[in-house]
Amino acid sequence: MKEQIERIRAEFQKALAGADTPEALDQLRVQFLGRKGKVQQLLRGLGQLPPEQRPEVGRLVNALRDQVQQALKEKKASLKPAVPREWLDLTLPGRKPPVGKKHPLTQVLDEIKAFFVQRGFTVADGPEVETDYYNFEALNIPRNHPARDMQDTLYITQDIVLRTHTSPVQIRVMESQQPPVRIIAPGRVYRRDTPDASHSPFFHQVEGLCVDRGVSFGDLKAIISEFARELFGEDIHVRFRPSFFPFTEPSLEYDFNCVFCRGKGCRVCKQTGWMEISGAGMVDPNVFKAVGYDPDIYTGYAFGMGVDRIAMLKFGIDDIRLFFENDLRFLNQF
């Protein structure tokens, strides 16, 4: 029996030296330690030995079993993981992990914020679900005023709306502090529009407000003109046109010369050479009265701009819906 034990030990060591994969080691384990393995057969043969030999031989067999188990464990730990050559080439450079990028609207909004913050404006915020008072009445748009039809408002209740512009933020700021006031109010706004290439029921605006002693119409034109050159280049031009807004008087709309054709006329600007941006004007005295400012002492200007429209001009995008489809093929271009 002792000779048989030594023979099996030698056989195992020889087989172990040639086993160089986890699969080969597993087969070796079954061959020697399995229920029908060679070590197990030795244990079954103990019953055929004389009683006085069984303890010593049993100790030798158990020692062999422990040796086989330990050797298999150490050999398995020493093996390197197999590299399937058919799909992994270690000579190739590693793949870079995907990195998130800013949405084009966020990029443009960051540029707008940076421009105005550098010129002394602070960034203000307000609720997207607004009261009728802040969205309309405090802005000189009382109930039954025809200008409310311009907004195509989404009502939650009779007195609660999804804000149609970020101008309510201006009212909230003026209620909370005395002049001078110089803020911009970026945010999301909502209107009852049918989605198409240039309209969306959900879009982004930036409203601006400057109130102090001696603020003039010339100050308003200067800040808008400087903003246009900063965002689109020194050769951009701005056109101001008379208009009407209930919360400004006088009011104007401003256009940039078309960034696609630089004013020569093209399909995008309908051959006019100009792209409509938004509205602005001097704050109406009734708005000052609503927030407790004395219109005989203070003057101010307010302006608005659509972030989505500016992003379309800046990046040459002809359909506003692309901003909201979350198509990575589109977003990765920016």
Q: For position 296, what pLDDT does the model report? A: 94
**CATH no., domain 104-331:** 3.30.930.10
Backbone angles phi, psi at 330, to 5 degrees: -80, -50
pTM here is: 0.67
- Report the share of the chain in percent with pLDDT over 90: 40
| 95-99, 110-114, 149-153, 326-330: the lowest-pLDDT one | 149-153
Q: For position 35, what pLDDT does the model report? A: 78
Fill in the DSSP letter of residue 246: T
| 4-18, 174-188, 244-258, 302-316: the lowest-pLDDT one | 4-18
pLDDT at 151 over 70: no
- Assess whether the previous peptide bond of 55 is cis (omega < 30° from 0): no
**pLDDT one-digit tens code per residue, 50-60:** 777 778 777 87
pLDDT at 84 over 70: no
Structure token digits, residue 288: 């000052």
Please give the biggest Cα pair distance in the chain. Answer: 123
| 43-47, 167-171, 189-193, 239-243: the lowest-pLDDT one | 43-47
pLDDT band at 81 (very low <50, low <70, confident <90, very high): low
Q: What is the DSSP string of 272-309?
A: SSEEEEEEEEEEPHHHHHHHT--TTT-EEEEEEEEHHH
pLDDT at 86 over 70: no
H or E element at residue 241: strand 238-245
Total H helices, total E strands in the chain: 11, 10
**pLDDT one-digit tens code per residue, 157-187:** 988 999 999 999 999 999 999 999 999 999 9
pLDDT at 148 over 80: no
Torsion over CA of 109, 112, 114 and 119, rounded to 10 degrees? -150
pLDDT at 82 over 70: no
Q: For position 241, what pLDDT does the model report? A: 93
Domain boundaries, the chain: 2-78, 104-331
- Amino acid, res. 261: C
Q: For position 80, what pLDDT does the model report? A: 65
Backbone angles phi, psi at 172, to 5 degrees: -60, -40
Q: Which among 218-227, 262-271, 310-319 has the top mean pLDDT?
A: 218-227
**Residues 6+ away with beta carbon under 8 Å from 310:** 108, 112, 231, 277
Q: For position 248, what pLDDT does the model report? A: 93
Q: Closest by alpha carbon to 277, among 248, 300, 247, 243?
A: 243
User: Are 115 and 307 a contacting pair, CB within 8 Å?
Assistant: no
**pLDDT one-digit tens code per residue, 87-142:** 677 788 888 887 778 899 999 999 999 999 999 999 999 999 999 999 999 998 88
Q: For position 142, what pLDDT does the model report? A: 84
Q: Closest by alpha carbon to 281, among 310, 241, 231?
A: 241
Average pLDDT over residues 193-204: 83
Fill in the DSSP letter of residue 39: H
Average pLDDT value for the chain: 86
Q: For position 184, what pLDDT does the model report? A: 96
Structure token digits, residue 223: 């800040």
